[in-house]
Amino acid sequence: MNNQEKIKVLEKLVSFRTFSNNSQEINRCLEFINEFVLKNTKLKGKKFIQNEHLSMIWRKRNSASISLIGHIDVVNAEVNMFKLEIKNNKIFGRGVLDMKGPVLSMIFAFISLINKGLSVELVLTSDEEIGGHDGIMALIKHRIINPRIAIIPDGLAGFNIIKAQKGPIHIFIQSKGKSAHASRPWEGLNSADSLIKCASKIKNKFNLAKKKNDWLSSASLTQIKVESAINQIPSKGEICLDLRITEKEKDWFQKIKNICRRSNCVIQRLNGDGKVFNLLRDKKKIHLWKNISKEVTKKNCREVITCGASDARHLSAETLSLITSVDGGGGHSEKEWIESDSIDKLQTIIEKFICKLIINV
């Protein structure tokens, strides 16, 4: 397929509104991919479902030592973002960077490698944006996959390699107060006030990262929910904080628990354990990837640290997880984009790397 034909396939992938909780669109998207792979390899994907989250795996045998790992779920966006827009060699649309563009590169690399008779597996999940616990984490736990090498183009740092990622935690905190008329606030106990004060204290303690020094913990208030009329003191509410921690952060749970207790709040639930990712130091294979990437992109492939997270943290510490991406920007924003030639470049890097590893050609 030429680049224009690949963009047509990407256009179809982006058209599916695959939010993590939209099982109908996720099923449709994965079935489209399954039919495409089946047509080009005669391999039918195997389904894995946990807590209504669907994952699919394509491989010739029951296991493979090299995995191409990606996710098809995306964050929310306006309807117009699910239609591709191309301007000045840039492709815009929800998920083109995170990560349906890179997924397309993996699909074409997988098809090529399988048709060369090489053993590799393609793994696509649908819950990475909400933690990956029912996707990659469950696939590892049940030993459905157990790769020695994983290629995960979900790094959002161009064609560089990610050497470390912070550990993500989503903390849901509740407060129960006493309702009253808003004109007589002294008669009630405002749960919204308690939650805002609690969030402020947590941010003062953990929101340390800055633009020029970002390898520190961060805390962002991402959701606020209260149940009340516009003229009523709310008696119940909940907030969500997105926490990103480094390996230096100790006893973070107890610290937050103490803040909540002093603020008339309680931790309702946690999503994530704050596990930090660190790249396995396999110098020979990392050097090989860097050389191939430089050959294809004409740019040095650096090892970088990023504030985000990926499903790599769920894999074994003995797995070489090569987290990379394509040239682009605006992940999770209204201006998400990739360079139009990035899909071909990433496909070529993946193919050359695996061929060198397996058959040394």
pLDDT at residue 359, rounded to an integer: 79
3-state secondary structure of 106: helix
Q: Quick one: fold of 169-271? A: Alpha-Beta Plaits (3.30.70)
Q: Are 20 and 10 in contact (CB under 8 A)?
A: no
Residue 101 token pair: 């563009």
What confidence tens digit (pLDDT) does each residue in 155-193 have? Answer: 989 999 999 999 999 999 999 999 999 999 999 999 999
Residue 18 token pair: 């695959």
pLDDT at residue 283, rounded to an integer: 96
Q: Enumerate the domain spans of the chain.
A: 3-165+276-358, 169-271
Indicate the pLDDT class of residue 262, thresholds 50, 70 and 90: very high
Rounded to whole angstroms, the Cα distance separating 148 from 284 reads: 14
pTM, to two decimals: 0.93
- Asked if the model's pLDDT at residue 361 lies above 80, the reply is no
- Asked if the model's pLDDT at residue 73 lies above 60, the reply is yes
Residue 165 token pair: 């990622």
What confidence tens digit (pLDDT) does each residue in 23-33 have? Answer: 999 999 999 99
CATH class of the domain at 3-165+276-358: alpha beta
Q: Are 325 and 102 in contact (CB under 8 A)?
A: yes
In terms of Cβ atoms closer than 10 Å to its own Cβ (0-12, 13-18, 19+), residue 27 is middle
Instruction: Give CA 81 to chain center in angstroms.
Output: 19
- Asked if the model's pLDDT at residue 63 lies above 90, the reply is no
Residue 251 token pair: 């006893």
Rounded to whole angstroms, the Cα distance separating 351 from 359 reads: 11
Rounded to whole angstroms, the Cα distance separating 205 from 256 reads: 9
Q: Do domains 3-165+276-358 and 169-271 have the same CATH topology?
A: no
